């Protein structure tokens, strides 16, 4: 059996800002951009991983969700508590410099971790935590 990750979903409250971050700061490409039911989904990913995508979706992208649940989800997103992505690179220090130069919110500068990686962290424009690591050794 061979089961692989195809895509995952990440809530964003402003697609244009999110697309700019993932495109300009991380070098990802837009693969699909669909509007339906008054909402928008944008599929993006690294050119070096054509079979793996992140779908940017509106918070609470379920037309049947209650107003109170929609508000709670929006509050969690605004606090940066809703989701995170862990990414990897061969040059975390160079990647950090590039992403920081785009004006992204820095959460952690590059540092060696006791679990075998050197990593850094940012928040995307919606507040999602983006960790970027480089395996050591």
Phi (first) and psi of residue 99, to 5 degrees: -65, -40
Q: What is the mean pLDDT of residues 102-131?
A: 96
Q: How far apart are CA 79 and CA 70, in angstroms?
A: 14
For the question of whether the overall pTM of this predicted structure is more than 0.85, the answer is yes
Q: Does CATH number 1.10.10.10 belong to domain 7-135?
A: no
Cβ neighbours for 13, distance < 8 A, ≥ 6 positions apart = 58, 59, 74, 77, 78, 126
Domain ranges of the chain: 7-135
Between CA 85 and CA 80 the distance in angstroms is 12
- Summarize pLDDT for 60-111 with one digit per residue, the tens: 888 788 989 988 988 888 888 888 899 999 999 999 999 999 999 999 999 9
């Amino acid at each position: 059996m061979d089961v692989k990750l195809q895509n995952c979903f990440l809530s964003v409250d402003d697609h244009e800002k999110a697309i700019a971050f993932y495109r300009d700061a991380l070098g990802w490409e837009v693969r699909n951009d669909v509007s339906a039911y008054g909402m928008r989904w944008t599929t993006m990913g690294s050119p070096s991983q054509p079979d793996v995508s992140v779908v940017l979706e509106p918070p609470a992208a379920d037309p049947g969700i209650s107003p109170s649940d929609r508000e709670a989800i929006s509050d969690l997103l605004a606090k940066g508590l809703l989701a995170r992505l862990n990414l990897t690179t061969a040059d975390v220090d160079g990647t950090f410099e590039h992403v920081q130069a785009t004006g992204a919110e820095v959460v952690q500068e590059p540092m060696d971790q006791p679990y075998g990686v050197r990593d850094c962290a940012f928040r995307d424009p919606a507040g999602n935590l983006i960790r970027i690591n480089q395996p050591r050794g």
